[in-house]
Amino acid sequence: MKKRLLGKSGLEVSELGLGCMGLSYGYGPATEKHEAIKLIRAAFERGVTFFDTAEAYGPFTSEELLGEALAPIRDQVVIATKFGFRDGVASKGEDSRPERIRAVAEAALKRLRTGHIDLFYQHRVDASVPVEDVAGAVKDLIQQGKVRHFGMSEAGAQSIRRAHAVQKVTALQSEYSMWWREPETEILPLLEELGIGFVPFSPLGRGFLTGAINAGTSFDKNDFRNSVPRFSEQNRKDNQEFVQVLSRFAARKGATPAQIALAWLLAQKPWIVPIPGTTKLHRLEENVGAAAVELSADDLREIGTALATLTVHGDRYPPQLLARVGR
């Protein structure tokens, strides 16, 4: 797999990373530990060197899992994790006080079995803490050698610019895919201006763009998607148009819908690195295969024209979580 630089930071990663949230959190029961470690190591064997986690995934179990899985190859991979929720629990609300950031870093270093965190994201902007203080706290950790790079997640343009003035932001992680293109309006131009890399999570629309989800799909009772308006039964039915467009194009290219969706993201900017997550080896192999799918300028124009005729049905978060993004 080829490598990419996240903006102008010098941080080099595989052009596709692995989002590890779903192995421990968010989509139903956690994957059995042995199987999860096997999947993470299989990703590395297939060229993935960029692994994403957070203290809130579990909480804490995802970092522990990743630390154990990557310990034998720690010097060959880039690990990203996140701070920003009270006690590491997302439902308790944001907490990016500098003393909390320092405590999270120390705990994460132990769970990840490492001497440094390659990329340390603020998980969500905390309206009660000036973003300059957040950036300053991470800057101190960088100067101490405990963190290498600073990132932000789902932050708005003003917060990114203010933080970047204190400590250069290496990467922004936010949702971006064929059915959530809002970042193209203001965020992508800003990132290009400042030399910040972009790490799209949910690049396959939380699984929807694979074609494996339809109006009749039933999710585990603990699956986050049960609360997402976009995944209501009616919206799953109405949003099938996206899958139909992808499926038609994939058939012509000898690829799968998921591979076209990921290849499309890779083609948007050379500093974009999607992090699809999965719990299944065959899906991992499918996702990794997207790196070999070439989309020409004509292909991209055709896809763009088709997407412009479609309407996305349903919000990407329930109201209480929508309030946390874009600050």
Looking at residue 132, what is its pLDDT? 98
Q: Please give the Cα distance from 89 to 326 (Å, whole number).
A: 20
The answer to whether the beta carbons of residues 154 and 322 sit under 8 Å apart is no
Written as six digits, the tokens of 234 are 């009616």
Q: Please give the Cα distance from 176 to 224 (Å, whole number).
A: 18
Q: If you search the block for the tokens 């959190």, which residue do you land on?
A: 25
What percentage of the chain has pLDDT greater than the value 70? 100
For the sheet with 117-122, list strands across it: 18-19, 50-52, 78-83, 117-122, 147-153, 169-175, 197-201
Task: Provide the pLDDT confidence category of residue 169 given band limits of 50, 70 and 90.
Answer: very high
Q: Please give the Cα distance from 199 to 174 (Å, whole number).
A: 7
* Mean pLDDT across 236-240: 97
Q: Please give the Cα distance from 317 to 230 (Å, whole number).
A: 8
What percentage of the chain has pLDDT greater than the value 90? 100
Phi, psi of 67 (to 5 degrees): -60, -45
Looking at residue 178, what is its pLDDT? 96
Q: If you search the block for the tokens 């996206």, which residue do you land on?
A: 242
pLDDT, averaged across the chain? 97
Which DSSP letter does residue 225 get?
A: G
Looking at residue 312, what is its pLDDT? 96
253-289 per-position pLDDT tens digit: 999 999 999 999 999 999 999 999 999 999 999 999 9
Looking at residue 115, what is its pLDDT? 98
Task: Provide the pLDDT confidence category of residue 17 given band limits of 50, 70 and 90.
Answer: very high
Helix (H) or strand (E) holding 39: helix 33-45
Helix (H) or strand (E) holding 264: helix 257-268
* Mean pLDDT across 310-325: 96
Catalytic residue check, 27: no
91-142 per-position pLDDT tens digit: 999 999 999 999 999 999 999 999 999 999 999 999 999 999 999 999 999 9
Looking at residue 41, what is its pLDDT? 98
Written as six digits, the tokens of 119 are 């990329």
Which DSSP letter does residue 117 get?
A: E
Helix (H) or strand (E) holding 100: helix 98-111
Written as six digits, the tokens of 53 are 């986690």
Provide CB contacts within 8 A for 174, sequence distance 6+: 153, 154, 155, 183, 187, 198, 199, 200, 201, 325
Q: Please give the Cα distance from 80 to 84 (Å, whole number).
A: 14
SS3 content of the chain, % helix, strand, coil (to 5): 50, 15, 35
Written as six digits, the tokens of 210 are 């694979």
Give the rounded distance of the alpha carbon of 207 from its chain centre. 13
Provide CB contacts within 8 A for 207, sequence distance 6+: 213
Angle between helices 131-143 and 157-166 (to 10 degrees): 40
Which DSSP letter does residue 182 get?
A: G
50-101 per-position pLDDT tens digit: 999 999 999 999 999 999 999 999 999 999 999 999 999 999 999 999 999 9
How many CB atoms within 10 Å of residue 320?
9
61: nearest Cα among 122, 107, 100, 114: 107
Looking at residue 217, what is its pLDDT? 96
| Domain spans in the chain, listed from the N-terminal domain onward | 3-322
Which of the residues 57, 121, 176, 317 is marked catalytic?
57
Task: Provide the pLDDT confidence category of residue 309 given band limits of 50, 70 and 90.
Answer: very high
Beta strand spans in the chain (E): 3-5, 12-14, 18-19, 50-52, 78-83, 117-122, 147-153, 169-175, 197-201
Top-level CATH class of 3-322? alpha beta
Task: Provide the pLDDT confidence category of residue 189 given band limits of 50, 70 and 90.
Answer: very high
256 half-sphere exposure, CB direction, 13 A CA radius: 20
